[in-house]
Structure 1
Amino acid sequence: MIRHHINADYYDEARLRRISKEGKLLYKRRKETIERSFADSKQNHGYRYARYRGKAKVQSYAWLSCCVQNMKTIALREV
């Protein structure tokens, strides 16, 4: 059998999981949780543009933003 990519078997397996009934439910949940989190980061925590120059400074700001977002999530869950 001729394969187009060395990981084609894994791609096929992932595709089958994605189109299954369980995969569709998980994807729906992903849209509700993960995508909302990225949208919140982009809108409220400065992920739209880099404020600093240099990989180390941008990485530090990203870690700080993630901490803020996690604290906000924890605080909202407790209420």
Structure 2
Amino acid sequence: YREYRCFEELCLHCPFKDKCISDKARYKTVRRHVWEDHKDDNKNFLKTEKGKGIYNRRKETVERSFADSKNLHGLRYARMRGLNKVSEQCLLTAAVQNMKKIAMRLSSI
């Protein structure tokens, strides 16, 4: 995080002091994450026509894949315990989904 602080002398004579800072504070402090500018750029991009189109495609591709994993391939619950075994289950599920996609493409040729 980066912290920005106003000089106390400037806040003393500011006409917006009562709206900006509380009774206990003597000056304004703004704290922003180092990636906040990138987050703002992404939010602004999603408001453009191109950004809206890309975001709508996400529902059809990425989110659909996760939903199919959960509903059709049993990835809603882990069948085994341990990080390695759960990772194996996820990888096998992804492999099955990829095989299904390949089979669908080959059958349409």
TM-score (norm 1): 0.90
Moved over 6 A (4+): none
State the 1:61 CA deviation.
Answer: 1.1
RMSD: 1.3
The one of 7, 10, 15 aligned to 2:43 = 15
CA distance in structure 1 between the aligned counterparts of 2:105 and 2:97, rounded to whole angstroms: 12
Q: Which residue of 2 aligns with 1:73?
A: 101
Please state which structure has a larger fraction of its residues in strand.
2
- Per-residue CA distance 1:19-74 (angstroms, 9 max, x = gap): 11100001111111111111110011111000000000000111111100001011
Write out aligned runs for 1:4-43 (5 A): 4-43=32-71
Please state which structure has a larger fraction of its residues in helix.
1
Gap regions ≥5 residues in structure 2: 5-29
The one of 69, 76, 83 aligned to 1:55 = 83
Gap regions ≥5 residues in structure 1: none
Q: Which residue of 1 aligns with 2:11?
A: none
TM-score (norm 2): 0.67
Of structures 1 and 2, the larger Rg is shown by 2
How many residues are paired up?
79
CA distance in structure 2 between the aligned counterparts of 1:18 and 1:77, rounded to whole angstroms: 32
